[in-house]
Amino acid sequence: MKAVIFRNPDEELSYEDVTLDPPKAGEVRVRIAAAGVCHSDLHVKRGEWESPAPLVMGHEGAGIVVELGEGVTSLAVGDHVVLSWVPPCGRCRYCRQGHEVRCQKVAKIITPKGVLFDETSRLKRAADGDSLHHFLGVSSFAEEVVVPASGAIKVRDDAPLDVVALVGCAVATGVGSVLNTAGVEPGSLVAVIGCGGVGLNVIQGAVLAGAERIVAIDVIAEKVEVARQFGATDTIVAPDGGAVESLLDLLPDGVDYAFDAIGHTKTTEQAIQMLGLGGSAVLVGLPPNGSRASFEPLLLADAEQRILGSNYGSIRPSIDIPALVDRYMDGQLKLDPLISGRRPLEEVSQAFDDLAGGKALRTLLIPPA
């Protein structure tokens, strides 16, 4: 099959033939319908995150189950699935507590080692048989994937796979950060820094939570205008800084929740500075390795404020992913406007250029038929 391989930041991505071994016990093989290009992928491409390499890229996607490994009873060939980059083991203490995005086996094996649960890979270069790493247990920039069965989440057959692929990362991360991590209450005042694919879904989550005011903030005017389509009540364009001052001019007492959907040191600090009494800053966007932000602990404690980290929207994949797909199909969530374009899988480099340029929300990569 064809797949996209990353070796190091100084080499161009390659689009080449790869062999995919059959699924082992507890795994499934999925033919990819579409894969989204995310800022997490861009971090890897730029060398801003430590990732084992060479690897097959991609972590957001959807497709159809084509083969079952031994012992898999939760899925059937032909099932439509959205891929989860946290395939919970179901047995560690965090999974048993219902905090599946904290799964210890994912954190200790799949993410850092670039392998599946048995600590081996199913991917090899066709040219020389050299082993390739999996990215976040998914590697969706390929025609097919082998993933743990818990990472292939069955969804309704009438949902368009090339759209609901976005639920696997951007939608789950954004909406989940509001409903699960923060627990935003009706009537809340909310600020969202960054109106990309994740930020727009934070806004949608705030709408679902019944927030009274939702302030969308970005450096690009076109993006904050798009944010109004997703439910923002107010917008701030701050290309030269000044986002905090503009927010406090609009809401002098600050906000109850400020979401950093970008993940830069500056935006993290801005989110904290926007808070009112008892407010929570929610860190959703992920920064490069080694980033450091600062705040004044005394002010935080005096105002009874909190800083919350949100990984994958604190979701339970098998429950929340199908529910988000249902919300889309029922008209409660907008997904189609998130798609900036579709490109063949071989045009992955152009898709990254679209994302890095700041205008694209989500580009979908479509594997060859």
Helix (H) or strand (E) holding 214: strand 213-218
- What residue type is 289 in one-letter code? N
Catalytic (active site) residue 38: yes
Q: What does the alpha-carbon distance between residue 259 and residue 176 come to, in Å, rounded to a whole number?
A: 12
Domain boundaries, the chain: 2-168+335-366, 174-311
Instruction: Kindly name the residue from 39, 51, 59, 139 that is annotated as catalytic.
Output: 59
Q: What is the pLDDT of residues 275-292, one digit of tens each?
A: 999 999 999 998 888 899
Instruction: Kindly name the residue from 89, 92, 169, 195 that is annotated as catalytic.
Output: 169
Instruction: Kindly name the residue from 38, 95, 103, 195 that is annotated as catalytic.
Output: 38
Mean pLDDT of the chain, nearest integer: 96
* DSSP symbols for 144-210: EEEEEGGGEEE--TTS-HHHHGGGGTHHHHHHHIIIIII-PPTT-EEEEE--SHHHHHHHHHHHHHT
Instruction: Kindly name the residue from 40, 84, 246, 280 that is annotated as catalytic.
Output: 40
CATH number (3.90.180.10, 3.30.450.20, 1.10.565.10, 3.40.50.1820) of 2-168+335-366 reads: 3.90.180.10
Q: What is the pLDDT of residues 176-197, one digit of tens each?
A: 999 999 999 999 999 999 999 9
- CB-based burial label for 42 (10 Å; 0-12, 13-18, 19+): middle
Catalytic (active site) residue 169: yes
In this structure, whether the domain defined by 174-311 belongs to CATH 1.10.357.10 is answered with no
Q: What is the pTM of this model?
A: 0.95
Q: Answer whether 2-168+335-366 and 174-311 agree in fold.
A: no
Q: If pLDDT is split at 50, 70 and 90, which confidence band does 311 have? A: very high
Helix (H) or strand (E) holding 349: helix 348-356
Q: What is the pLDDT of residues 88-130, one digit of tens each?
A: 999 999 999 999 999 999 999 999 999 999 999 999 999 999 9
Residue 52 has pLDDT above 80, yes or no: yes
- Predicted local confidence at residue 247, as pLDDT: 98
